[in-house]
Every structure is written in structure tokens, then in C-alpha cells.
Amino acid sequence: MQSARDLLVLYGSETGCAEDVAERIGRQARRRRFRVRVVAMDDYDKNLLIEEKLVVFVCSTTGQGEEPYNMKKFWRFLLRKNLPHDILSNLDCAVFGLGDSSYAKFNYPAKKLYKRLQQLGANVMIQRGDGDDQHYLGLDGALDPWLLSLWEAIMEKYPLKDQEIIPEEVLLDPTFRLELLPENASNEPEIKTMQAPPPLREDEFNVVVKSNERITATDHFQDVRHLALECDSENMRYAPGDIAVITPKNLPEEVDAFLTMMQWNNLADRLIRITPASKDCKLPAHWASVMTFRDLFVNHLDIFGVPRRSFFEMLAHFTKDENQTERLREFASPQGQDDMYNYCQRPRRTIAEIMFDFTPTDIPLDYILDVFPILRPRSFSIASSLKAHPGQIELCIAIVKYKTKIRRIRRGVCTKWISTLKPGDLIERVRISKGTMRLPPSPEIPLIAIGPGTGVAPMRAFLEQRILEGAKENVLIFGCRHRDKDYHYRQQWEQYEKDGHLKVLPAFSRDQDQKFYVQDCVRQQGAMIWELIDHKQTKVVLSGSSGKMPEQVAFAMKQIFMKYGSLDAEQAEHYWNTMSKTGQYQEECWS
């Protein structure tokens, strides 16, 4: 039964950032005495939406303007043509989007959702908020003022009568309860059942590591792996251009060191039972309800990642030193974002390091899941064709390791774990996400594939598939630093070229005095590329880092159109935009 002070927060999140914002809105709502539910859009019973009075929608952007994985079913539901135009006329709502304005389709999911809600008669309480990663404060640059406007509008329509807003310094009730079980509890049949992980969902499957090989020279600064994974599940189906989604684990020895630092090492092997503190929250679908304390940190909690602002907000409740509490609250405030950036984001400080800096703390077990964020899945472009490698997924992954501004070595949470995987190791609950790039509709249509570095991964999948289907006109523009150090899949490309299936145009940026990149290679081969694009309707696909490279390749292409197609600047821009709109050009880049 709905009450006048029920608030629903629905989120679509790919990496956890939108979920973090949704949880933050949920906490602020609880302080204003609302009964709150925070739910992923696809986990929500869509048929109940017409009964809701107040909903805040939060959604991120993935790929090239795509909606997140856990929003797709909900979005398809809203797009149904048989929905009456006034079906949501009793709904008050607001929409906040998360994106990056350097992308052409900035915040498309939020923009489309905002428009569709209005079409269905919803009362949008305030203007849509657009969080932008390019803002110097990140998404908080737009989120903080948007939240002020949101609560002003909500509290005007849904005022508190006889109660006060709960102050920020007052600790809210925990989301979950963590119960230490008796030491002999593992012998009980009921507990053994609760320790079993939930069944795989229909879109999930387990894989076994077949090989994990370094494919860069041992003296090269970057360790890049070719990871081959085997699977006999019928659920494992993918097409060239698709993405493997993998949830990492923390290394047990690092977790043990963390538990020792936190003085929890005596609890490491104890069984714990995790239960929601209210019926409005649920344990993540892939978690068992009983596990060891150590397994909670190995498998589920991100204690070695760089935290978001909400971490400081929660940690401030559990420090024992008033000066430290004040500093953490400053980091969590809108005014303290510059200081938080300099302390945490700029040097990429991890949660474990922050906990060391702010000892002693006293975090009750019930609040562990409120303080420490959950390990999120990572996405990797698949570097193989299923037709060429039946029962396998192959990935090309750069192991993240670098020095920060303060000269400390940092390692990526996921790739650190991947670097330790050995043949025979099990990776659980992998799923496939549809990519945004697709093969040309026919093998007769030529393909130009541009993939510097590990951006070559989806290009390998495309080329393997096309060559098996008999396609002859394939061009690969590959960029790296050195021919003899990081030329990924060189032997395969050279064999394809020898067999007449591929033309390879490598760009080695450091093998000569003047740097030479893929965009320089595009310009150098301008006559051939224009011939392929304009006369043969060749498809162009690009993958790699979302830094300057995509823009520079686009600029080089437009220069080609002007030089070899005799177009002026405006015509070249229009030609390129048309290629993008029709799908003749597609890109998938990441930050």
C-alpha cells in the first residue's frame, strides 16, 4: 500500500556510478523521513509504476549513447506503443543522467527517458540533471545543485508535518545485518544450503581459463595478455563486436593484510549470515546469504579501488578522532570537493590506504556493506569469433599498472586479478553484453578496421569472422609503439596478408624520430581509403582509447574527403556525419 511519503529511486547503472548516486538520493530521502526503495530498473515490477506517486530516475550512459544493461527491459517497456499517453499522469518524477560531454551522444538515455516520461503524462518536478565527467568536479558539479533544487521541489509538495529532517551527522540505520554464526555452524544442513551460491541466471555462464599469455615483449613497459577462456554452456553465445562482462576478485593475501590492519583477522574464517535490514532492500542476486568473513572481502567488496564521495560520507561516522571526522565530512561536502580530489582522486588513493590514514576506526559489522562499495563488473571487447573458436572467448587485456603523482605504484583491481589467473582457474558468472559495432551486412562490402593498442580486440573478432565467410577486401590499421615489442597478433595478421585476405597498415609511433600514429596512417593512405569509402561503400570501424585519437582519426578522414573527394569543409563534415548516422562508420571507445 502506497503512502504519501513513499519515494522510489530507480537506476540504470553499468559500472556502479549511477547506483551510487541513487543510494545517495535514498539516504537523503530517509533523512527527510521518506520510506525509500532504491532498485535497479530491470529489477522493478514495471506493472506497479502506475501506482507510484514519487519516483527519481538515475541513469548512466554506456557505449555510444546506449542505456545501461540493467535498464534495457524497463526502457523497452516504456517504449510500448500501446501505453496510453496519460498513463503516468499521477506520477511526480525527476531524472538525472550521468555521461561524458566529449561523446557525441552525451546523456542520451537520460534525455530519452525524460522525454518519454513527459509523453506518458508524468509530472516532471524539475529540469533534467546532466552529470558530466568533463566537469572539473566530475558529475558532482551538476549533481550537487540539482539535488538542492530536487529537495526544494519535493519538500514543497510533500512537506514534513510534525518531524524534523534528520541531520547529516546522525547515523542512519544499516542497510543489512551481519551476524557472526557459531563456529560449528558449518555442519548444519540449513547453513550449508545458504552457503551455496544462487543458480546462474539464464544470461550467465562460468568459464575455465585455457591460457593466459603475455603478448608484449618482456622488456616492454606494458603487460598485455591474451586470455583464452573455455565454456560448454549453451548460454555462451556472442557475435563479433560483443563484450564480455566479468566481475573480478581481490587477491586473498591482500585481503588478509587488510583484515589484519582493520583488526578483523580473528574473524576471517568465521561464517557470517547477511540479511536485509528491511523488506525494501535485497541482497545482490549473485551473493550467497552465508559466507566466511574473508570471502565477503575477497569476492564482493571493493577495498582496493579508488572510492567515490559517498565512502567518505559513511566513514565519517566511524572515526574516533574529531579532527579526522571533520576532515572526512569536508571531503563529503560540496565545498570540499577540491580537497577530496587532491587527496584521493589525483593520487588515486585506494580505500585500503585511506583506512590506514584514518585509523583508528570502529565500524560495526552491520555497517560494513554501507561503508565499503561492492566490486563491480568490468567490460572487455571480445577478441575472437565464436565461429573461429567454438566454445571459447578470447580477450586482449592491458594489465593496468602505473605510478601516480606521488610516485606510488597503482594496479587495476580487475587486471591485477586477471594477471594471476592460471590454466584451469574458474571465472564465475560471466555474461555477454551487445556491442555497438557490427559487421558489414555482406562479406562483399569491404571493411576498414582501425584499432590501436588493445583496441585491436574487436577488430580481431571482425576479421576472423569475415575471413571465414570468404571476405577478401579487409584493411587493418593498427597502432602501437614498436614493431618488435607491442605489435599484437602480428603473426596472425601477416599470415592473413600472405593468404590474400587482409591488407595491414601498421603505425609504429616510436620506431622513428617523428611519431607516427593511426591518424597519420589514414592520411598517408588517403587515396585508397577514399576509393574504398566513396566507391565501394566500405564500412569503417574504430576502437580504442576515448582520448584524442577518435577525434584525430575523424579529422584525418575529413581531410581525405576534401583532398580526394574535392569536398569543401562543410561538405566533408556532412559526409562524415552521414556515415555515422547510417552506420557506415561506427566506433566503440573507452576512457
For 449, counting Cβ atoms within 10 Å of its Cβ (0-12 exposed, 13-18 middle, 19+ buried), the class is buried
Q: Is 107 a known ligand-binding residue?
A: yes
- CATH number, domain with residue 128: 3.40.50.360
- The answer on pLDDT for 2 being more than 60 is no
- CATH number, domain with residue 490: 3.40.50.80
Q: Is 545 a known ligand-binding residue?
A: no
What's the whole-number mean pLDDT along residues 322-350?
93
DSSP state of 226: E
Q: Is 381 a known ligand-binding residue?
A: yes
Share of the chain above pLDDT 90, in %: 84
Of residues 422 and 335, the one with the higher pLDDT is 422
- Whole-number pLDDT of residue 33: 95
169 within some domain: no
Q: Is 258 a known ligand-binding residue?
A: no
- Whole-number pLDDT of residue 180: 96
Q: Which three cell numbers stand for residue 45?
A: 515490477
Q: Is 404 a known ligand-binding residue?
A: no
| pLDDT tens sequence across 567-581 | 999 999 999 999 999
| Cβ neighbours for 540, distance < 8 A, ≥ 6 positions apart | 447, 448, 450, 533, 557, 579, 584, 585, 586
Q: Answer for the pair 437, 588: CB distance below 8 angstroms, yes or no.
A: yes
Under the banding of pLDDT at 50, 70 and 90, the label for residue 1 is very low
| pLDDT tens sequence across 131-153 | 998 888 888 889 999 999 999 99
- Integer Cα distance of 350 and 356 in angstroms: 10
Q: What sign results for the dihedral spanned by CA atoms 401, 402, 404, 409?
A: positive
Q: Is 3 a known ligand-binding residue?
A: no
Q: Is 111 a known ligand-binding residue?
A: no
Q: Is 379 a known ligand-binding residue?
A: yes
Q: Is 331 a known ligand-binding residue?
A: no
196 within some domain: no
Q: Is 129 a known ligand-binding residue?
A: no
Task: Return the amino acid letter for 249.
Answer: K
- Quick check: helix, strand or coil at residue 145? helix
- Integer Cα distance of 382 and 234 in angstroms: 18
Q: Answer for the pair 280, 6: CB distance below 8 angstroms, yes or no.
A: no
Do 401 and 363 have their domain in common?
no
Q: Is 350 a known ligand-binding residue?
A: no
Do 244 and 255 have their domain in common?
no
Do 352 and 421 have their domain in common?
no
- Whole-number pLDDT of residue 406: 60
Q: Is 517 a known ligand-binding residue?
A: yes
- The answer on pLDDT for 433 being more than 50 is yes
Q: Is 414 a known ligand-binding residue?
A: yes
Q: Is 37 a known ligand-binding residue?
A: no
- Whole-number pLDDT of residue 183: 86
What's the whole-number mean pLDDT along residues 212-217?
98
Q: Which three cell numbers stand for residue 82?
A: 500501446
What's the whole-number mean pLDDT along residues 77-105?
93
Q: Which residues constitute the domain of residue 538?
A: 447-589
Q: Is 98 a known ligand-binding residue?
A: yes
Q: Which three cell numbers stand for residue 87?
A: 498513463
Share of the chain above pLDDT 70, in %: 99
Count of domains forming the chain: 4
- The answer on pLDDT for 15 being more than 70 is yes
Q: Is 34 a known ligand-binding residue?
A: no
What's the whole-number mean pLDDT along residues 9-16?
92
338 within some domain: yes
Q: Is 104 a known ligand-binding residue?
A: yes
| Cβ neighbours for 325, distance < 8 A, ≥ 6 positions apart | 316, 319
Do 288 and 234 have their domain in common?
no
Q: Is 571 a known ligand-binding residue?
A: no
Of residues 421 and 589, the one with the higher pLDDT is 421
Do 413 and 277 have their domain in common?
no
| pLDDT tens sequence across 488-540 | 999 999 999 999 999 999 999 999 999 999 999 999 999 999 999 999 999 99
What's the whole-number mean pLDDT along residues 420-425?
98
Strand 447-450 with 539-545, pairing: parallel
Q: Is 387 a known ligand-binding residue?
A: no
Q: Is 348 a known ligand-binding residue?
A: yes
- The answer on pLDDT for 103 being more than 50 is yes
- Quick check: helix, strand or coil at residue 391? coil
What's the whole-number mean pLDDT along residues 452-467?
98
Q: Is 538 a known ligand-binding residue?
A: no
Do 49 and 69 have their domain in common?
yes
Q: Is 15 a known ligand-binding residue?
A: no
Q: Is 415 a known ligand-binding residue?
A: yes
Q: What sign results for the dihedral spanned by CA atoms 449, 104, 129, 167?
A: positive
Do 258 and 353 have their domain in common?
yes
- Whole-number pLDDT of residue 402: 82
DSSP state of 399: P
191 within some domain: no
Mean pLDDT of the chain: 94
Q: Is 62 a known ligand-binding residue?
A: yes
- Whole-number pLDDT of residue 370: 96
pTM of the model: 0.91
For 251, counting Cβ atoms within 10 Å of its Cβ (0-12 exposed, 13-18 middle, 19+ buried), the class is middle
Q: Is 60 a known ligand-binding residue?
A: yes
- CATH number, domain with residue 351: 1.20.990.10
Count Cβ neighbours within 10 Å for each residue of 488-521 and write b for 16 or more, e otherwise.
bbbeebeebeeeebbbebbbbbeeeeeebbbbbb
- Integer Cα distance of 540 and 527 in angstroms: 15
What's the whole-number mean pLDDT along residues 182-201?
88
- The answer on pLDDT for 337 being more than 60 is yes
Q: Is 578 a known ligand-binding residue?
A: no
Q: Is 61 a known ligand-binding residue?
A: yes
| pLDDT tens sequence across 118-128 | 999 999 999 99
Under the banding of pLDDT at 50, 70 and 90, the label for residue 279 is confident
198 within some domain: no
- Quick check: helix, strand or coil at residue 272? strand
